[in-house]
Chains A and B, each alone.
Chain A
């Protein structure tokens, strides 16, 4: 029972991070029809900001919010420089643009920083574990789950209560008519990138809080998983992204925890097998999305 609860803590913690990343991808996709693979590079960049702010002597608790704000700004800048020039072109063009950005940033990290992992010093609190009598859960796992829940609730309030949030949801359904309401296209798109940057940075901080290092490829795998999660949940649906992210985290951790030793090397293959099975049964994902993208 203790083992099961520990693994559940791990599953929800990983699922929460996938959910934050997935929703960041989904927010941009729902409006632009762009799958932004440069999302992973933003995650990695967050890690390097944490490395250098720690070298500069800033405590983690101060550095983390600074990193989040810088990454939000970077995401908006990225849209302005890389994605706006190809706005309205085909999905393939936009997808390739996002790959190009991802590769360029990754090469920049390798050239100007290091190909080897850099240590991110973590406060002692994050590496502590809490003993619940029979099972123990890392403080970083608990913080990860709590932060993911708080962020998702806050995002939900933003999308329901503010005019800009309503405009984001409206733009995901009908971009032209959203403009007819007198809402600037650039404002909605910049907000989508700001939100995705915010979520990538928070996910990155939570990810690093469990690993305490960063390397040029760090963001690649989690964002690939997040992309699988958005597909699983229903591409472009925000609720679907959350559901898909949590589900993927749960499947991965439980398989790793309960597969017999001989089958363990196939954990990744079995996880993707489950995802494929779900998509065969529900090709539109668990929660399908609709809406016209920016043309």
Chain B
């Protein structure tokens, strides 16, 4: 579904992403792991057209999307949930959801998506007229995902959905990601919490200093000492 080949991205004077290649097949959850500053978010930004790729190729369902407008990319079925949730705080929950469908024109189709999304996130139906900034962190993360789903994506990019949330809430969000997968959505998940991400991912890539250092099935990476020590930090230390 998504294919990135030999991608270079500069961020000001810094080359944040160097020669990254990765594949996400239809129906998969693929995790992109690595420490802070490894280039994960920049990679996602390049995919959605918010950062300019200086070299390489990005294809969505076979068609090149490199250098295209974000609007065009969203219309083709790829939407990103940004790091830190970033709901529009003074807009109501309903208004946030409506903006998620900004690229769509058919009111009936939009209403259908909204009903589906509100079934998936009942709390958002209750809070429809509340300003998004007054929601709890977990609810805001739900809204950020729900808002992205309003564009009817085939591929969802999730940037650090666990960031700043209590462990119990993180479990809920990861359960939800699995449910989205079971509904046929393909997901590229960027996470620092490697343990949680590898629990739900099919495959994973590990980034450091702007490069992909390692890739494999989630099970292989979970078992790998090298991954644990070199790239994922203490979180992967065996609990013995």
Which A residues are within 8 Å of any B CB, using their own CB? 163, 166-167, 169-170, 173-174, 176-184, 290
Contact = CB atoms under 8 A, between A and B. Distances in A.
B98 A166 contact: yes
A146 to B, nearest CB: 29
Contacts of A170: 88, 91, 99
Contacts of A182: 70-71, 73-75, 79, 102-103, 151
A170 B50 CA distance: 17
Interface of B: 48, 50, 69-71, 73-75, 79-80, 82, 86, 88-91, 95, 98-100, 102-103, 147, 151
Contacts of B90: 169, 173
Given A176-B50, A180-B48, A163 B99 contact: yes
Contacts of B73: 182
B70 A180 contact: yes
28 contacts: A163-B98, A166-B91, A167-B99, A170-B88, A170-B99, A173-B89, A173-B90, A174-B86, A176-B82, A177-B86, A177-B88, A179-B50, A180-B50, A180-B70, A180-B79, A180-B80, A181-B74, A181-B100, A181-B102, A182-B70, A182-B71, A182-B73, A182-B74, A182-B75, A182-B103, A183-B71, A183-B103, A184-B69
A53 to B, nearest CB: 38
Contacts of A179: 50, 70
A181 B69 contact: no
Contacts of A166: 91, 95, 98-99
Contacts of A163: 98-99, 102
A104 B191 CA distance: 52
Given A163-B99, A176-B50, A178-B99, 6 more contacts: A173-B88, A179-B50, A181-B99, A181-B151, A182-B74, A290-B89
Contacts of B103: 181-183
A169 B102 CA distance: 13
A205 to B, nearest CB: 32
A226 to B, nearest CB: 23
Nearest to B94: A166
B88 A183 contact: no
Contacts of B71: 182-184
A207 to B, nearest CB: 31
Contacts, number: 61
A47 B21 CA distance: 60
Contacts of B99: 163, 166-167, 170, 178, 181, 183
Top 5 A-B pairs, shortest CB-CB distance: A182-B74, A182-B103, A182-B71, A170-B88, A177-B86
A167 B96 CA distance: 10
Among B48, B88, B100, chain A packs the most CB atoms within 10 A around the CB of B88
Among B70, B82, B151, chain A packs the most CB atoms within 10 A around the CB of B70
Nearest to A186: B69
B100 to A, nearest CB: 6
A169 B82 contact: no
A185 to B, nearest CB: 9
A182 B98 CA distance: 12
Among A174, A182, A184, chain B packs the most CB atoms within 10 A around the CB of A182
Contacts of A184: 69, 71
A290 B89 CA distance: 10
Contacts of B91: 166, 169-170, 173
B152 to A, nearest CB: 11
Given A166-B91, A170-B91, A173-B89, A180 B82 contact: yes
A174 B74 contact: no
Contacts of A173: 88-91
A177 B151 CA distance: 14
A180 B49 CA distance: 9
A207 B48 CA distance: 47
Contact of A183 (B79, B95, B102): B102
A166 B91 CA distance: 8
A282 B69 CA distance: 41
Contacts of B100: 181
Among A169, A170, A176, chain B packs the most CB atoms within 10 A around the CB of A170
Among A173, A174, A180, A183, chain B packs the most CB atoms within 10 A around the CB of A180
A174 B90 CA distance: 11
Contacts of A177: 82, 86, 88
Contacts of B80: 180
Contacts of A167: 99, 102
Contacts of A180: 48, 50, 70, 74, 79-80, 82
A182 B70 CA distance: 5
A150 B26 CA distance: 52
Contacts of B82: 176-177, 180
